[in-house]
Amino acid sequence: MPTRRKAGLPESGFVFCSFNNSYKINPPVFDVWMRLLKAVSGSVLWLVGDNATVQHNLRREALHRGVEPGRLVFAPRIQYADHLARFRLADLFLDTLPFNAGTTASDALWAGVPVLTCAGEAFASRMAGSLLKAVGLPELCVMPLKKPAPECFNRGGIQSRRQAGSYRSISNVRQSRLWEGTCSTFSVPRGPRFDLPGVPQRVSVLYFGVSLPGRTGDRPPFPAAEISRY
């Protein structure tokens, strides 16, 4: 079983993570992440360490923003099963914008790690939000509206943890909202996102409904809200 010590993480303290590819990280989002580290004492940011250049550049930028470079911890690329297992060492996954996490956000949720994202207007900036809605955590998708997206993301991150009672207690979401039940070796995720046999059935019904207007001239016989679940 992976442990924080083996992963190079502190034994205590809040662990933010973002296992998105490094090319998705841009200065405005990185600014937000650094403000979060400053706001949460003893916290670290766990990232994918693709190469030495990425690590050097991100640590340099952290220092430039007044954050100790050592608070950025880099994870090496490993076998997929081992990667999924170590996901649970994190407390909260921080998404990127405008290019959201897709498969990576799904991996986090399967591991029981809450995802905090900021939705934009394009498909690539709404992937994680769609997943959160499917698992019953729409409040972790921050809608920019008229506010600058990174600022909205920042407020959403801090507010989500404060509403939970403490900075660390958001990790309890995985027990109360993401999991049907847990034991030492096996957990069963809940929600339509994890109902694999049911997903193709529901999507097939939607496809059939979409095809009806072209054949009958009638409006689709299902509410638009159903489509929004996907």
Residues 69-117: pLDDT tens digits?
Answer: 999 999 999 999 999 999 989 999 999 999 999 999 999 988 888 899 9
DSSP string, 52-93: HHHHHHHHHHHHHTT--GGGEEEEPP--HHHHHHHHTT-SEE
pLDDT at 162: 43
Of 94, 83, 95, the closest CA to residue 126 belongs to 95
Distances (CA, A) of 109 to 51, 73, 90, 132, 213: 26, 21, 11, 8, 36
The residue among 110 and 25 whose pLDDT is bigger is 25
pLDDT at 216: 61
- The pair of structure tokens assigned to 161 is 């943890």
pLDDT at 181: 41
SS3 of residue 45 by DSSP:
strand
- Give the integer Cα–Cα distance in Å for 101 and 90: 16
pLDDT at 177: 55
- Give the integer Cα–Cα distance in Å for 50 and 3: 21
Mean residue pLDDT across the chain: 78
* Mean pLDDT computed over 11-31: 94
* Mean pLDDT computed over 184-211: 64
Any idea which of 60-69, 171-180, 182-191, 219-228 has the lowest mean pLDDT?
Answer: 182-191
- Give phi and psi for 141, each to the nearest 5: -105, 110
- For the cut 90, the answer to whether the pLDDT of residue 65 exceeds it is yes
The residue among 164 and 176 whose pLDDT is bigger is 176
Long-range CB pairs of 61-68, under 8 A, 24+ apart, other chains included? 61/27, 61/30, 62/34, 62/37, 65/30, 65/31, 65/34, 66/34, 66/38, 67/34, 67/37, 67/38
Residues 131-168: pLDDT tens digits?
Answer: 888 888 888 888 664 455 455 555 555 444 444 344 44
pLDDT at 147: 52
- Residue spans of the domains in the chain: they are 4-181, 196-228
- Give the integer Cα–Cα distance in Å for 189 and 186: 10
Residues 32-49: pLDDT tens digits?
Answer: 999 999 999 999 999 999
Which CATH superfamily, name and number, covers 4-181? Glycogen Phosphorylase B; (3.40.50.2000)
pLDDT at 67: 97
Residue 150 parent element (H or E)? helix 149-163
